[in-house]
Amino acid sequence: MGNIGQKGNLPVPNLYRTSDGGESWEQVKIALPEKYQGYFTQAEIPVFDGEKGTLLVKQGPEGDYLGGNVLAKFSSGDQGSFVGLVDPNGVLLST
């Protein structure tokens, strides 16, 4: 986890998944809305409740969006889509 930054490009979250018990791994592409790219770069460990997963992505060292304390939230219930921004307590914010 963490982020990947390449010269000339904004950093992106660095997250991998396995579906074979760790024999092989593939990078998960996290589709952030364009206006949030470069701010939300630190993927946290996903949390699952049965089949539904939630992923929070924190702001990296350059992130100061809304004071740097909000996180981007994704849900696997709808194909891993961006849900919105949440405060540190997980409350969905309207932005």
pLDDT, one tens digit per residue, over 67-87 is: 888 999 999 865 578 999 999
Region of poorest pLDDT, from 6-15, 35-44, 56-65: 6-15
* Residue 39 dihedral angles phi and psi, to the nearest 5°: -90, -50
Given pLDDT bands bounded at 50, 70 and 90, which one contains residue 20?
very high
Instruction: Provide, rounded to the nearest whole percent, the portion of the chain with pLDDT above 70.
Output: 86
**Helix (H/G/I), strand (E/B), else coil: 40:** strand
**Helix (H/G/I), strand (E/B), else coil: 36:** helix
Over residues 28-49, mean pLDDT: 89
Over residues 44-71, mean pLDDT: 88
Domain that holds residue 65: 3-93
**Residue 5 confidence (pLDDT):** 58
- Alpha-carbon span 44 to 71, nearest angstrom: 10
**Residue 90 confidence (pLDDT):** 84
Q: How many domains does the chain have?
A: 1
